[in-house]
């Protein structure tokens, strides 16, 4: 990440002159928008040019944000004032709607998301998370009565109350920054928690833009939400180890998730982890191969393959392996990549030169290990583009079939029968998502139920929505985001008993 040491003043104007980096140039700490002496560059991945400069928080800034969140949780009525929380969530939802087009342009420019994607999971759908949790808060029972019991000659009333978990450190990845931030922030605020939110160093401006909207357009009290950006790993490390943080919610790689879980263990923090995936799409022998090939090709290159739940392993009957490979390769030839701002573009760039180099190195190692490069495997400049890449005849135990690539790369793996397909699908440290295609919904569902993964698509079914819990088995994570389960992640249970007089 490039750094830039000059102090950047902030005028408070929003999106002035149509420049996307006018939003989000300051930290939000204890209700104040704070400029920093150091800033770091955020690049436009479609061009490689500097888009703008983000505030570069220090460990001291992180400690100030945590102290503010601790104070707001311990000494204000935020944790107990349900009406205030509902009102503030609705204000935030309205602010996001009012500034949606500004956020859309910033998301396209900084994230490299296509315009079409911002109409869905990159922006418009995540905005709906805020209204969803405002409505859920009004109806979700925070008290549960248990049956009365008799003990020691007396009757006892018993009940359970749900309370906020406390101060939350929320750290998000670069690939879907609006979705990831709001999927943590909205339920945490609904639960009554206070939050320190840190954006990814590759996409800091969009998360800081969210902080500015909170500061300007909501009644969220000072300290309840703090938003940081930093190029320093030490800032995130401090957030996950500070004794005043009660809970850590993190979305990112499994490798980093392991370190966070280990660090949080020192103070036994609650941990939510949404980590990597190597999901399998199982094509049964009676499936529509033309439809499945189309779905497999265009889904795996969504956001240039930078999605943890994408089905990056395509499992096909051995007798029809070559047929499926040819169909997918033909579909890859129709994927239009380039300027993400063009409504006709289907695939944008990878986030950085570093990520593109990582993807390319994995592809080259796969070919060296015996996989067949059918199409793709090419870097395209300017920007950080990588052509849709298809690898055939892949060994299910090889690196390319086991490790998350996070690029537009699909591997085709042959199997012998349904049991073998299930075995290969489960042959992974991950368990985030998957799909099964068959002419029979019942047969597809029977296979899907045997695969150990947190979400499953039957014949292309879409599970992604505000009310659907999302998360993984095994090393794909701990806990669930979105839905009622997403709210419950941020709640503690306290059991009461009282003698009935």
Q: Which of 105, 232, 274, 404 is catalytic?
A: 274
Q: Which of 258, 269, 237, 268 shows the shortest CA–CA distance to 171?
A: 237
Burial state string for 329-367 with b = 16 or more CB within 10 A and e = fewer than 16: bebbeebebbbbbeeebbbbbbbbeebbeebbebbeebe
Backbone angles phi, psi at 374, to 5 degrees: -85, -45
Whether 274 sits among the annotated catalytic residues: the reply is: yes
Residue carrying structure tokens 């993190």 = 250
Beta bridge partners of 32: 29
Q: Which of 212, 215, 243 shows the shortest CA–CA distance to 229?
A: 212
CA separation for the pair 298, 315 (Å, rounded): 16
Q: Which of 100, 239, 105, 244 shows the shortest CA–CA distance to 182?
A: 100
CA separation for the pair 112, 304 (Å, rounded): 9
CA separation for the pair 272, 266 (Å, rounded): 16
434 three-state secondary structure: strand
CA separation for the pair 415, 395 (Å, rounded): 11
Question: In the structure encoding, which two tokens stand for residue 441, read together?
Answer: 């919904």
CA separation for the pair 426, 405 (Å, rounded): 18
In DSSP notation, 112-154 reads ---HHHHTTTTTHHHHHHHHHHHHHHHHS-SEEEEEEEEETTE
Question: In the structure encoding, which two tokens stand for residue 388, read together?
Answer: 């849709």
Catalytic site positions: 274
């Amino acid at each position: 990440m490039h750094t830039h040491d000059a102090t950047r003043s902030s005028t408070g104007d929003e999106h002035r002159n149509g420049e996307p980096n006018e939003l989000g140039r300051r930290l939000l700490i204890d209700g104040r928008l704070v400029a920093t002496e150091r800033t770091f560059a955020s690049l436009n991945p479609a061009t490689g040019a500097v888009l703008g400069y983000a505030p570069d928080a220090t460990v001291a800034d992180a400690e100030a944000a945590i102290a503010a969140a601790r104070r707001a949780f311990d000494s204000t009525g935020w944790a107990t004032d349900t009406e205030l929380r509902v009102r503030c969530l609705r204000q935030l939802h309205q602010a996001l709607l009012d500034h949606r087009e500004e956020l859309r342009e910033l998301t396209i420019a900084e994230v490299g998301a296509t315009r079409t994607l911002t109409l869905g999971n990159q922006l418009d759908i995540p905005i709906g998370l805020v209204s969803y949790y405002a409505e859920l808060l009004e109806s979700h029972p925070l008290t549960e009565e248990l049956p009365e019991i008799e003990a020691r000659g007396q009757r006892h009333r018993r009940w359970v109350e749900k309370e906020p978990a406390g101060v939350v450190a929320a750290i998000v990845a670069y690939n879907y920054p609006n979705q990831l931030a709001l999927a943590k922030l909205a339920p945490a605020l609904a639960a009554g928690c206070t939050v320190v939110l840190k954006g990814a160093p590759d996409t800091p401006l969009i998360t800081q833009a969210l902080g500015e909207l909170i500061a300007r357009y909501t009644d969220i009290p000072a300290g309840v939400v703090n938003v940081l950006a930093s190029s320093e790993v030490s800032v995130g490390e401090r957030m996950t180890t500070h004794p005043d943080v009660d809970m850590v919610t993190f979305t990112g790689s499994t490798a980093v998730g392991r370190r966070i879980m280990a660090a949080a263990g020192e103070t036994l923090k609650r941990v939510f982890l949404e980590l990597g995936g190597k999901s399998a799409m199982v094509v049964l022998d009676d499936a529509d191969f033309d439809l499945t090939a189309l779905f497999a090709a265009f889904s795996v290159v969504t956001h240039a393959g930078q999605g943890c739940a994408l089905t990056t392993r395509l499992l096909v009957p051995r007798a029809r392996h070559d047929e499926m490979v040819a169909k997918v390769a033909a579909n890859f030839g129709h994927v239009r990549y380039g300027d993400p701002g063009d409504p006709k573009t289907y695939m944008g760039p990878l986030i950085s030169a570093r990520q593109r180099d990582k993807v390319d190195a994995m592809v080259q190692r796969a070919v060296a290990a015996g996989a067949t490069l059918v199409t793709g495997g090419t870097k395209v400049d300017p920007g950080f583009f990588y052509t849709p890449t298809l690898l055939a005849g892949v060994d299910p135990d090889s690196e390319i079939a086991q490790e998350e690539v996070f690029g537009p790369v699909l591997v085709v793996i042959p199997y012998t029968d349904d049991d073998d397909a299930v075995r290969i699908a489960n042959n992974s440290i991950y368990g985030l998502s998957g799909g099964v295609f068959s002419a029979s919904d019942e047969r597809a569902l029977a296979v899907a139920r045997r695969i150990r993964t947190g979400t499953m698509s039957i014949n292309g079914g879409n599970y992604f929505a505000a009310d659907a819990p999302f998360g993984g088995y095994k090393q794909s994570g701990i806990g669930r985001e979105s839905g009622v389960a997403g709210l419950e992640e941020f709640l503690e249970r306290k059991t009461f008993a009282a003698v009935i007089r």
